[in-house]
Structure 1
């Protein structure tokens, strides 16, 4: 059905008059009459009984009016939400990042974002695959490499390294390795080099696994590696950003670490003005700034 004809029908049904309905839409009575007649012809029914005192809806007209009234209310509500969104962040935001960064760094901080924007709806996609932002598989991505697409806005958040960690209890029980050769006397917890992950982490894992280790535990994500380290299972390869939230982690063999891994936040150019994207970006940048301040004050950079 033609939206213009429905709009005219609704205005006429509201006031019961072609003349007054046309006045509200700045249309002549003849133009309104033609549109109503065309709508009735397209539906194959009569929508109004014509009386000297005005128009009365037929049974079919009442059915259509109920539908157009619901449409009008929905449009009014949507318009109000759009106006409100100029000041309030509402609606759905699809965010993607890696399983490790998402579960270990981002998710524990989201309560702060929801406190600030309680009407925000986040759809968080945690996987190693790079989703296609220009094709809107996600609105925002936090990636462990610089995006290659030219039509993305990107911001470098920080650089991370994969390092070796254990707990004080584990080291008190087994001793602290003094050099790389000592790693063979400990259980190494890591991701398999063949598991999807940043290449520098895979290279570090491969190098340490070449030391003829007596025992290993391989987990396909850093969340599992962290839980095993905290459970005193062994020495684990973990991203260094975890030390801010898990002070019980003790760095082992400080000379051993991966190459730097850049972390980027990216989103499509057409979402530059999106208040949801802006709110999420600003939140992440504030949290990164707090982390950097902690690094500087603790001397762990």
Structure 2
């Protein structure tokens, strides 16, 4: 089997961008060239690595298996180059983080921007998806979760606790009145998750405050927050997101106060990858600091 590293590098780019054009743009190659290299790799491997459709390129089972190995090889090569260049203290290459959209929208951009500012050769990709990431298939180098996984060859580290409260816009409260107790919530419009799309029990906030109805729903925290900003109703909001929504006010602060946690989840094999260890350390410290800073503003 004659497989060249450069073909694997192109394979990883297509897997990450899910298109020939996206991979070509990232690699500064013509999409037709990318397509030819993928065809050559599939021929060498004796397997179909991508399922092609009008929506793009998605990995087959064989493609997922190769991606996991290719990503490990990529990390080893990058680490070796850093050592050879005497840059062991600096981060380079690409790191992909999977995260729920609350963290992805309101925490990761500023934290990762600071890390990249200190490490000019580093590229960070943030994938915001309302579901659990499959690290075994190398959908991301690491993920942020709201609960620790119960199985898998994974490393799990608690990052920090965070707080949530009921909130609504000043305009909504002026129109509908401010609830005085949890019992009053039955008379208010409620914004929350689409019930059958709650992918983790830790996200079932409304059940914890005794609310059984939802008038406006989305699988996105950002959409829920923006609905509240427009005066649609009450929502359970992350305290760290409230500084970005000055129209909102907390209500029932004592009665409806929730605490959740973020966890950093990594593949166990990455324990031996120094650059990912250093990035994880910087990310964890940055997130703890940013959550504390934003919550102090509310």
TM bucket, shorter chain: 0.5 to 0.7
- Conservation of the 8 A alpha-carbon contact between 1:93 and 1:277: no
1:280 Cα deviation from its structure 2 partner: 4.4
1:178 Cα deviation from its structure 2 partner: 0.7
1:290 Cα deviation from its structure 2 partner: 4.1
Classify 1:109/1:170 alpha carbon distance in 2 versus 1 (closer, same or farther; 3 Å): farther
User: Aligned partners of 2:268, 2:171: CA distance in 1, in Å?
Assistant: 49
1:249 Cα deviation from its structure 2 partner: 3.0
User: Aligned partners of 1:262, 1:126: CA distance in 2, in Å?
Assistant: 17
| 1:223-248 per-position Cα deviation (integer Å, ceiling 9, x unaligned) | 10011112222211223332354454
Bigger radius of gyration among the two = 1
User: Aligned partners of 1:251, 1:105: CA distance in 2, in Å?
Assistant: 20
Classify 1:260/1:243 alpha carbon distance in 2 versus 1 (closer, same or farther; 3 Å): same
Q: Indicate whether 1:178 and 2:177 are aligned.
A: no
Tell me the number of residue pairs that the alignment of Structure 1 and Structure 2 aligns. Answer: 220
1:177 Cα deviation from its structure 2 partner: 1.0
User: Aligned partners of 1:292, 1:151: CA distance in 2, in Å?
Assistant: 31
TM-score (norm 2): 0.62
- Conservation of the 8 A alpha-carbon contact between 1:143 and 1:264: yes
| 1:154-205 per-position Cα deviation (integer Å, ceiling 9, x unaligned) | 2211223543111233323332111223223322111122223431432625
Q: Which residue of structure 2 aligns with residue 218 of structure 1?
A: 217
Moved more, 249-258 or 233-242: 249-258
1:252 Cα deviation from its structure 2 partner: 1.4
User: Aligned partners of 2:105, 2:294: CA distance in 1, in Å?
Assistant: 20
Classify 1:129/1:189 alpha carbon distance in 2 versus 1 (closer, same or farther; 3 Å): closer
Moved more, 228-237 or 154-163: 154-163
- Conservation of the 8 A alpha-carbon contact between 1:91 and 1:276: no
Q: Which residue of structure 2 aligns with residue 143 of structure 1?
A: 145
| 1:78-136 per-position Cα deviation (integer Å, ceiling 9, x unaligned) | 97655234233111112111123212322344322221222212232222332232443
Classify 1:112/1:235 alpha carbon distance in 2 versus 1 (closer, same or farther; 3 Å): same
1:209 to 202, 207, 212: 212
User: Aligned partners of 1:235, 1:259: CA distance in 2, in Å?
Assistant: 15
Unaligned runs of 5+ in 2: 3-77
User: Aligned partners of 2:285, 2:241: CA distance in 1, in Å?
Assistant: 17
1:258 Cα deviation from its structure 2 partner: 7.0
User: Aligned partners of 2:222, 2:278: CA distance in 1, in Å?
Assistant: 28
